[in-house]
Structure 1
Amino acid sequence: MLLPILLLSAAGFTVLTTEFIIVGLLPAIARDLEVTIPQAGLLVTLFAFTVAAFGPFLTAYFARFERRKLFISVLIMFGVANTVAALAPNIWVMAAARLIPALGLPVFWALASETAVDIVGPDHAGRAISKIGFGIVCAMVFGIPVGTLISDAFGWRSAFGILAVIAFAKALLLFIYLPKTILHQQQASFRSQFKILRSPLMIGHVLLSILVFTGMFTAYTYLADILERLAGFNGTVVGWCLMGFGAVGLIGNWWGGRAVDRHPLIASMMFCAFLIAGLIALVPNIQSPMGLAAAMGIWGITQAALFLVSHVRLMKAAPEAPAFAASLNIAGANLGIGLGAMVGGRVINAFGLGGLGFAAAAFILASILLAMALMTMAPREPVTVQ
């Protein structure tokens, strides 16, 4: 049953690349559409807030649908959205193109994660989702930086156009090769899935995801701009830097998948501590090739690990409704992504790019303190769902 997981991982590459490719294209989009970098950064906020607002409800509703048709439909929707983005004449059409896939991402990612866990069993959830998460890491390694390189060579619209073709191709692959029998065996009702929100511990886990992702994307949203303006790199070099940043994420994905199966909260705190070091060290070492590589390496490893750790942490906290719990993490993470983009824009306006690392580190420190508090809380009583 490895083939379904690999197919979903390949589809996940397209889904996550669609969300994050804009990070490497922000400077070019801002110039072409005649808006500022912070204004272009609001496209990240729009995508993220849409996922946060609608993700749990859409996931709870679509959890009862046949998975193969659902996954294929999501990929087609992403292909259409990326086509619109490639043709966008202004920031408003671009915003609409970002809104469409934001509705499909939480449904795909939550239900694909649940499907992977169904295949291997809950005791190996971290390892299973790390295979799905490999698609995310590949999005960081290849999707975002290659998109940046394509943008530098042929224009940012070409990057979205190619991504649209890939989305349609992945939909065809799922249609041909994904088994028709993939279906979660015990589906909770729409209403009963929301019962897990009665738990203060569960709310704390969601808040932890919000803090972690706010910290990460306060700085990461503007990483391409940091490398252009502070390091003095051109678009090609920025693309290669982002590829290196994503490549070390393979280590984080592997490491996180094993650490989270042992103790999710300790894994969160450990990776957050290393992330603070990488964030703070980046700008002071921006003119040192070795120092910059080390800072970006630490940041890249820990960020990839925290993507996975946060996701599995929520699913393990609610084994009776894992897909809905995953959607809560996706919602919390995207709320954090949107807040991070907004906070980062404000920090740039007030203190310049050099202040981003310290602002981001403050959120990550707060997340460590919250994780410590959650460890002192009594385990949540199981909630029976029908």
Structure 2
Amino acid sequence: MFFPIYLLSAAGFTVLTTEFVIVGLLPAIARDLAVTIPQAGLLVTLFAFTVACFGPFLTAYFSRFERKRLFISVLIMFGFANAVAAMAPNIGVMAIARLIPALGLPVFWALASETAVDIVGPDHAGRAIAKIGFGIVCATVFGIPVGTLISDAFGWRSAFAILSVVAFAKALLLFIYLPKSVHKDQASFRSQFRILRSPVMQGHVLLSVLVFSGMFTAYTYLADMLERLAGFNGTVVGWCLMGFGAVGLLGNSLGGRLVDRHPLIASLTFCTFMIGGMVMVVPSMHSLPALALALAVWGVTQAALFLVSHVRLMKAAPQAPAFAASLNIAGANLGIGIGAIIGGRVIDHLGLASLGFAAAGIILLSILLALLLMVAKPGAAACSA
């Protein structure tokens, strides 16, 4: 019964890896395409802003479509886009290759959890959604760092070429094994957007924007920080990113437990610890134990906040959970794009060593907003309803 769910999770792994693998490849892409690191960082911004601008509208529109055909189309789109990226002769073509999959990512992630529940039934809903979410964690644990190691060994184009082949292969597996399904109780296009009238809901979306802005102000350039400040080569950077993702398994588990009790307290807790990890990374660059500890704290909290933010928005709008999930995806990607821009400006004007402090300042703003949301609607139940 759960085999189709594992396939969706595996497809999600490819989708998320396509978005974030570029984080580990930025230095190599910048060198090969003859652009600066901040200019290459704009590829992250382009992807993220495209998701943010079009995600909710595309999700609301495509939610009425038959899901098997929709997911297969998304995987084929990703396969084509990664093939174009692998052959991109300049930054302009690379930008087009990043724009195409950005249109499919929010549709896939917002509807995959809902589809998983439709497949297995409400009695197994929690297990199904947990298995879908595991694909996100695995993309961070294995997808991004393995892409970095492949880039160091065979060139960054090879990483995109392999992703292209994997996307086409998973599209074929979905074609063979995924049952057809259409969500029967889908809310109308207009009623889904109506939840945005709530000031509390607007606050939750803004909270996602701030959290992800803070995270990606520094994370976008983490590979560059490890290369230039710590003096690591590409292989060591890849293993560092692997460790960063691996500790995220713990963060995913902790986040899942705490978010069910109180979504906003979960956000506050992990944001607070994240500030400590981010601020300590640069001062710890020349002490391997201290650097490992700082990256571990950052990695645990970052993975936790991916899950916490997703569930927090869905709990805030139980009448339209898939659309609420798309709003979180949009807000998160808007934050990712803003963070990449801020990080690039910080590098240009203050230097690479200032990234952690700039990112921590934004995370502090998200803590203040979470406190305001708790005051705006007192009580654990009210904050998540």
Please state which band the TM-score falls in when normalised by the shorter chain.
over 0.9
Which letter maps to 1:284?
Answer: P
Distance in 1 of aligned mates of 2:261 and 2:185? 26
Using a 3 Å threshold, how does the CA distance of structure 1 residues 117 and 268 change in structure 2: closer, same or farther? farther
SS of the aligned residue for 1:376 comes to helix
Which residue in 1 is equivalent to 2:32?
A: 32
Distance in 1 of aligned mates of 2:302 and 2:145? 16
Q: Superposed, which structure 2 residues align to 1:4-153 within 5 Å?
A: 4-118=4-118, 119=120, 121=122, 128-153=128-153
Which residue in 1 is equivalent to 2:305?
A: 306
Q: Superposed, which structure 2 residues align to 1:256-295 within 5 Å?
A: 256-295=255-294
Task: Note the C-alpha offset of 1:25.
Answer: 0.3
Using a 3 Å threshold, how does the CA distance of structure 1 residues 338 and 60 change in structure 2: closer, same or farther? same
Give the TM-score taking structure 2 as reference length.
0.96
Question: Quick check: 1:120–1:128 contact (8 Å CA) kept in 2?
Answer: no
Which letter maps to 1:224?
Answer: A
Using a 3 Å threshold, how does the CA distance of structure 1 residues 356 and 381 change in structure 2: closer, same or farther? closer
Distance in 1 of aligned mates of 2:98 and 2:37? 17
Using a 3 Å threshold, how does the CA distance of structure 1 residues 287 and 45 change in structure 2: closer, same or farther? same
- Structure 1, residues 203-250: CA drift from partner, whole Å, max 9, x if none? 000000000000000000000000000000000000010011111111
Which residue in 1 is equivalent to 2:237?
A: 238
Distance in 2 of aligned mates of 1:370 and 1:122? 35
Using a 3 Å threshold, how does the CA distance of structure 1 residues 122 and 369 change in structure 2: closer, same or farther? farther
Task: Note the C-alpha offset of 1:282.
Answer: 0.5
Percent identity, aligned pairs only, is 79
Which letter maps to 1:26?
Answer: L
Distance in 2 of aligned mates of 1:369 and 1:203? 15
Distance in 1 of aligned mates of 2:13 and 2:358? 29
Which residue in 1 is equivalent to 2:185?
A: 186
- Structure 1, residues 51-94: CA drift from partner, whole Å, max 9, x if none? 00000000000001111111111000000000000000000000
Task: Note the C-alpha offset of 1:121.
Answer: 4.3
Which letter maps to 2:329?
Answer: I
> Is 2:242 aligned against 1:223?
no
SS of the aligned residue for 2:376 comes to coil
Question: Quick check: 1:211–1:363 contact (8 Å CA) kept in 2?
Answer: yes
Distance in 2 of aligned mates of 1:57 and 1:331? 10
Distance in 2 of aligned mates of 1:30 and 1:8? 33
Which letter maps to 1:169?
Answer: A
Which residue in 1 is equivalent to 2:317?
A: 318
Which residue in 1 is equivalent to 2:364?
A: 365
Distance in 2 of aligned mates of 1:151 and 1:381? 42
Which letter maps to 1:340?
Answer: G
SS of the aligned residue for 2:141 comes to helix
Task: Note the C-alpha offset of 1:376.
Answer: 1.5
Question: Quick check: 2:278–2:357 contact (8 Å CA) kept in 1?
Answer: yes
Task: Note the C-alpha offset of 1:23.
Answer: 0.3
Which residue in 2 is equivalent to 1:330?
A: 329
- Structure 1, residues 12-49: CA drift from partner, whole Å, max 9, x if none? 10000000000000000000000000000000000000
Which letter maps to 1:267?
Answer: A
Using a 3 Å threshold, how does the CA distance of structure 1 residues 289 and 221 change in structure 2: closer, same or farther? same
Distance in 1 of aligned mates of 2:152 and 2:137? 22
SS of the aligned residue for 1:335 comes to helix
Question: Quick check: 2:273–2:301 contact (8 Å CA) kept in 1?
Answer: yes
Q: Superposed, which structure 2 residues align to 1:205-224 within 5 Å?
A: 205-224=204-223
- Structure 1, residues 294-327: CA drift from partner, whole Å, max 9, x if none? 0110111110110011001101111111111011
Which letter maps to 1:209?
Answer: S
- Structure 1, residues 130-161: CA drift from partner, whole Å, max 9, x if none? 42221111111111111111111111000000
SS of the aligned residue for 1:205 comes to helix
Question: Quick check: 2:67–2:182 contact (8 Å CA) kept in 1?
Answer: yes
Which letter maps to 2:358?
Answer: A
Give the TM-score taking structure 1 as reference length.
0.95
Distance in 1 of aligned mates of 2:311 and 2:197? 20
Task: Note the C-alpha offset of 1:287.
Answer: 0.7
Question: Quick check: 2:148–2:234 contact (8 Å CA) kept in 1?
Answer: yes
SS of the aligned residue for 2:21 comes to helix
Which letter maps to 1:307?
Answer: F
Number of equivalences = 380
Question: Quick check: 2:209–2:335 contact (8 Å CA) kept in 1?
Answer: yes
Using a 3 Å threshold, how does the CA distance of structure 1 residues 285 and 122 change in structure 2: closer, same or farther? farther
Runs of 4+ in 1 over 6 A off after TM superposition: none
Distance in 2 of aligned mates of 1:175 and 1:195? 35
Distance in 1 of aligned mates of 2:282 and 2:228? 11
Question: Quick check: 1:199–1:380 contact (8 Å CA) kept in 2?
Answer: no
Question: Quick check: 2:263–2:384 contact (8 Å CA) kept in 1?
Answer: no
Distance in 2 of aligned mates of 1:164 and 1:105? 15
Task: Note the C-alpha offset of 1:124.
Answer: 6.5
Task: Note the C-alpha offset of 1:129.
Answer: 3.6
Distance in 1 of aligned mates of 2:142 and 2:12? 13
Task: Note the C-alpha offset of 1:6.
Answer: 1.5
Using a 3 Å threshold, how does the CA distance of structure 1 residues 229 and 245 change in structure 2: closer, same or farther? same
